[in-house]
Amino acid sequence: MLDIASLSQLLNQPQKIVITTHHKPDGDAMGSSLGLYNYLIQQGHHAKVITPTDYPEFLNWMPGNEEVIIYTENTELSAQLVADADLVFCLDFNTLTRINALGELVRSSTAIKVMIDHHLEPEDFDDYRHWDIKACATAQLVYTFIVNELQRPDLISADVATCLYTGIMTDSASFRLPNTTAAVHRITADLIDAGAVNWRIHELVYNSSSEMRLRFLGHCLRNKLEVLYEYNTAIITITRQELKEFEVITGDTEGIVNYALSIAGIRLAALMVERADRVKLSLRSKGEFPANEICKKYFNGGGHRNAAGGHSELTLEQVTQQFKQLLPEYKTLLIQ
Ligand code: 5GP
Ligand code: MN
């Protein structure tokens, strides 16, 4: 393990740096990665953000976005950059399997690996770790890494602040989740002082739906929502046929599960989507209910207590059945 003094010293010289984040990046994955990117390029580093896959259009406006490399669209260039890197920053994920084929490239690279993350049970592949499961977002940890560890609050530029604000806003569900502490609000206030235009960021992320996406949401709520009051659980399932019919693109299913959770008394909400090769599950819960435990135990996944995900190779119908059948095991937690 490297100490902060050595890492800080390394970063005083221009380095070749790759920043990577998890499969199907969300607002925190992109916000924390581009926040760090905008910080590093101010110091003359040769930095690149490489994402394992594409990401939603409502995130493609952040400063530095045009420089992002998507692995699946640029495999050779990505592999070359990882192989040549002096440092690789791994943001918002805890195991190398979360970055698909990039994972093995990162594992075998001789670069110094820095993990900045807030997920439980991190895999031991890094040389330096800035990790805290209590953080509401990895973007919050990028802020504390820059300000407290590297002691460069002067380098929180408007671009850095804009990206980090986006990460904190999206991962805290717009400052709603229990981990949105007073400290988070103080950081957020600093980011606004540094130039993040909060109302504009909300507008860009949340008010940029296509008409079709809204109609798709209507369809899910009108026709696909199943409420199991006996277990205070609500489920939405989406077939491949529906994805086609409503021309669903990356990001369009984001947030739908939260509507199911918004019903009074519901403690657990599940969204199951039949993707090309697997069924993807998104779980959200209220309070103490451990959504991540279900994902880890049954669906090859994990995440946070109130927001977790996973996948299954079974059919959509089988996964739905399996999910319903495991609810009795959690009944006491669900109905208390
Ligand atoms: P979402 O439902 O938005 O896809 O994911 C919610 C959270 O669950 C993510 O922030 C991530 O922490 C976790 N998550 C989602 N899918 C997976 C997965 O396949 N594996 C693991 N380990 N975590 C996941
Ligand atoms: Mn996150």
pLDDT digits (tens, 9 = 90+) for 64-94: 999 999 999 999 999 999 999 999 999 999 9
Do residues 281 and 312 lie in contact, with contact meaning Cβ atoms separated by under 8 Å?
yes
pTM to 2 decimal places? 0.94
CA-to-CA distance for 319 and 90, rounded, in angstroms?
Answer: 31
pLDDT digits (tens, 9 = 90+) for 12-35: 999 999 999 999 999 999 999 999
Where does the pLDDT of residue 336 fall: very low under 50, low under 70, confident under 90, or very high at 90 and above? confident
Alpha-carbon distances of 112 from 119, 143, 214, 220, rounded to whole Å: 21, 20, 44, 45
Does residue 310's CB lie within 6 angstroms of at least one atom of ligand 1? yes
Quote the DSSP letter at residue 289.
Answer: -
pLDDT reported for residue 59:
98
Residue spans per domain, the chain: 4-206, 211-335
Letter string b/e over residues 217-248, b meaning 16 or more CB atoms within 10 A of that residue's CB:
beebeeebbeeeeebbbbbbbbeeebbeebeb
CA-to-CA distance for 186 and 97, rounded, in angstroms?
Answer: 34
Q: Read off the amino acid at residue 317.
A: E
Q: Give the residue, out of 99, 119, 250, 256, with the most ligand 1 atoms within 8 A of its beta carbon, to mutate for a pocket test.
A: 119
Letter string b/e over residues 119-146, b meaning 16 or more CB atoms within 10 A of that residue's CB:
beebeeebebbbbeeebbbbbbbbbbbb
Does residue 308's CB lie within 6 angstroms of at least one atom of ligand 1? yes
The number of angstroms, rounded, from the C-alpha of 286 to the middle of its chain's C-alpha atoms is: 19
Does residue 303's CB lie within 6 angstroms of at least one atom of ligand 1? yes
Does residue 282's CB lie within 6 angstroms of at least one atom of ligand 1? yes
**CATH fold for domain 4-206:** inorganic pyrophosphatase (n-terminal core) (3.90.1640)
Q: Residue 249 contacts by C-beta under 8 Å, 6 or more apart in sequence?
A: 56, 57
Its ipTM equals 0.97
Question: Does 282 have pLDDT greater than 90?
Answer: yes
Instruction: Compute the average pLDDT of residues 151-172.
Output: 98
**CATH fold for domain 211-335:** Diaminopimelate Epimerase; Chain A, domain 1 (3.10.310)
Instruction: Looking at the CA of 92, name the nearest ligand.
Output: 2
Does residue 27's CB lie within 6 angstroms of at least one atom of ligand 1? no
pLDDT digits (tens, 9 = 90+) for 183-215: 999 999 999 999 999 999 999 999 999 999 999
pLDDT digits (tens, 9 = 90+) for 136-146: 999 999 999 99
pLDDT reported for residue 220:
98
Question: Count of alpha carbons within 13 Å of 257, Cβ hemisphere only?
Answer: 25
Q: Which residue's CA is the nearest one to ligand 1's atom 12?
A: 303
Q: Which residue's CA is the nearest one to ligand 1's atom 6?
A: 308
For tokens 């970055």, name the residue: 99
CA-to-CA distance for 106 and 83, rounded, in angstroms?
Answer: 8
